[in-house]
């Protein structure tokens, strides 16, 4: 088979670097504070009260976490359902980010619950409350997290098929386990489209339901944000931040792992973002006008300034950046634009869930305890550590050598369907360069070129 070189470093990077050690320390502090919370309760570990029953664990870990994990379903929709082959290079990293993100969203919910040990009750049909918005969010998140793990299974199968090496007496199970992996991989290849569609549907449901959750707060939420269209705006903002989050994650990961950044693919994703941001902006402006609260923007109050900052930094500025072809082809500008969109969505969720929310007790106030901040930053650090471990040991990022590949041994007994899928991945040539089969390189290059030209 004729091959074409892909000029990446074929040596797998080390897991621990000075920066990773710092992240590990942050994760360790967060883990200790999390243990303290589960041991001594919410009262000892937080500044929450009856007036402020939720804080940054819901505002950041859950509300922001759910939105920023939207890259998983938006990229899967684009690559798998719309069959845009040029975007396949970013699907697996986005899927991994979403899977880890939603895992910590679930952990964030569990951390914020007083009776966290009863969290599993949501799986019991006789304990369901169909009139509860929060129940619908919990059920959709739980189901979508399951779908994400199922979508990741083919990556795990690819990692271990033909390489099952159980220690000691367990070695007798090598062949049975390998056969199970092959059967699982073959079955998933036939039904994966169903799970992709289900993932997109579940994501749309709970992204919008988080907005519904704040609609029922009524007058407790400032008029600039309180709207019956809040579910739609939450959904549109999740769509809008999906591709910028993929760009943000891809640039950081490739820089950290010293890989060449797929500028053309990221530029194509950036080109789609102003359209979604524009739709989100139109809905937001029309909603302000329809409800007659647009004059509040001229009050020069803290609320109006926050709203204008959210829209200016998170919507208008990245729309301008991503609308200029020359800026879309620049890595620094891509990163800047993506960061602004992420900042805008984070500001929106914090405004809605915390800053613009006023309890009935006007004398009450909330400032997060240092343990709350430590847990939140610890979750972020743990996400980074898990992501780095997985990409260094599983075939997630194209062009990154992982310490397992033995194509001859693998292909000798691999079913045709799996072998065809694996032929799309880069492999190591005799001189150490990573190479991709020429037919696959040509196909993907044609798709990228067509996308960039359009």
333-380 per-position pLDDT tens digit: 999 999 999 999 999 999 999 999 988 888 888 999 999 999 999 999
pLDDT at 441 > cutoff 50: no
As given in the structure block, the two tokens for residue 55 are 């804080």
Scored b (16 or more CB within 10 A) or e, 198-232 reads bbbebbbbbbbbbbbbbbebeeebbebbbbebbbb
So what's the pLDDT on residue 129? 83
Q: Both tokens of residue 379?
A: 């979750």
Query: In 3-state terms, what secondary structure has residue 359?
Result: coil
Is 420 in a helix, a strand, or coil? helix
- Answer with the residue of higher pLDDT: 132 or 413: 132
Is 201's pLDDT higher than 50?
Answer: yes
Query: Reduced to 3 states, what is the DSSP secondary structure of residue 205?
Result: helix
Q: How confident is the model over 176-193, as a mean pLDDT?
A: 92
Distances (CA, A) of 187 to 184, 190, 378: 5, 5, 37
Tell me what the mean pLDDT of segment 76-86 comes to: 86
Percent of the chain scoring above 70 in pLDDT: 85
Is pLDDT of 169 > 90?
no
The half-sphere exposure of 6 on its side-chain side, counting CA atoms within 13 A, is 24
As to burial, measured by CB atoms within 10 angstroms (0-12 exposed, 13-18 middle, 19+ buried), residue 300 is exposed
Domains parsed from the chain with CATH numbers: 3-444 (1.20.1630.10)
How high is the mean pLDDT of the chain? 85
What is the model's pTM? 0.84
Q: Check residues 422 and 16 and name the one with the higher pLDDT.
A: 16
- Tokens 């937001």 correspond to what residue? 284
115 or 282, which is more confident:
282
As a whole number, mean pLDDT of residues 234-245 equals: 94
Q: Is the pLDDT of residue 422 over 80?
A: no
């Amino acid at each position: 088979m004729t091959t074409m070189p892909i000029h990446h470093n074929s040596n797998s990077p080390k897991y621990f670097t000075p920066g990773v050690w710092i992240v590990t320390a942050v994760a360790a502090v967060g883990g200790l504070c999390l243990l303290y919370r589960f041991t001594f309760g919410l009262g000892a570990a937080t500044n929450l009260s009856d007036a402020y029953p939720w804080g940054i664990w819901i505002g950041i870990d859950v509300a922001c976490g759910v939105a920023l994990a939207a890259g998983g379903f938006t990229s899967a929709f684009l690559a798998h359902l719309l069959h845009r082959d040029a975007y396949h290079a970013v699907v697996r990293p986005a899927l991994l980010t979403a899977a880890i993100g939603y895992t910590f969203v679930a952990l964030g919910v569990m951390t914020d619950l007083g009776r966290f040990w009863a969290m599993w009750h949501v799986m019991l049909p006789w304990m369901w409350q169909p009139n509860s918005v929060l129940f619908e969010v919990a059920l959709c998140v739980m189901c979508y997290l399951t779908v994400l793990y199922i979508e990741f299974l083919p990556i795990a199968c690819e990692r271990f098929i033909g390489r099952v090496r159980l220690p000691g007496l367990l070695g007798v199970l090598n062949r049975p386990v390998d056969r199970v992996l092959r059967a699982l991989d073959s079955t998933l290849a036939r039904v994966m489209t169903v799970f992709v569609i289900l993932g997109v549907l579940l994501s749309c449901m709970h992204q919008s339901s988080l907005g519904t959750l704040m609609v029922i707060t009524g007058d407790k939420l400032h008029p600039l944000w309180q709207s019956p269209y809040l579910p739609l705006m939450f959904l549109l903002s999740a769509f809008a931040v999906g591709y910028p989050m993929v760009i943000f994650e891809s640039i950081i990961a490739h820089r950290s792992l010293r890989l060449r950044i797929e500028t053309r693919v990221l530029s194509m994703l950036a080109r789609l973002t102003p359209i979604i941001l524009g739709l989100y902006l139109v809905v937001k402006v029309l909603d302000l006008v329809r409800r007659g609260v647009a004059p509040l923007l001229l009050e020069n109050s803290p609320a109006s300034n926050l709203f204008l900052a959210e829209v200016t930094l998170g919507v208008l500025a990245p729309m301008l950046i991503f609308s200029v072809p020359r800026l879309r082809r620049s890595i620094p500008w891509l990163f800047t634009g993506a960061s602004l969109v992420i900042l805008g969505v984070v500001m929106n969720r914090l405004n809605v869930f915390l800053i613009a929310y006023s309890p009935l007790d006007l004398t009450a106030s909330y400032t997060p305890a240092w343990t709350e901040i430590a847990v939140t930053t610890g979750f972020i650090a743990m996400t980074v550590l898990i992501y780095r471990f997985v990409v260094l040991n599983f075939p997630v990022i194209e062009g990154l050598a992982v310490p397992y590949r033995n194509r001859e041994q693998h292909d000798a007994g691999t079913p045709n369907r799996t072998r065809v899928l694996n032929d799309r991945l880069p492999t190591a040539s005799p001189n150490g360069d990573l190479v991709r089969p020429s037919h696959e390189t040509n196909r993907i290059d044609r798709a990228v070129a067509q996308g960039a030209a359009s």
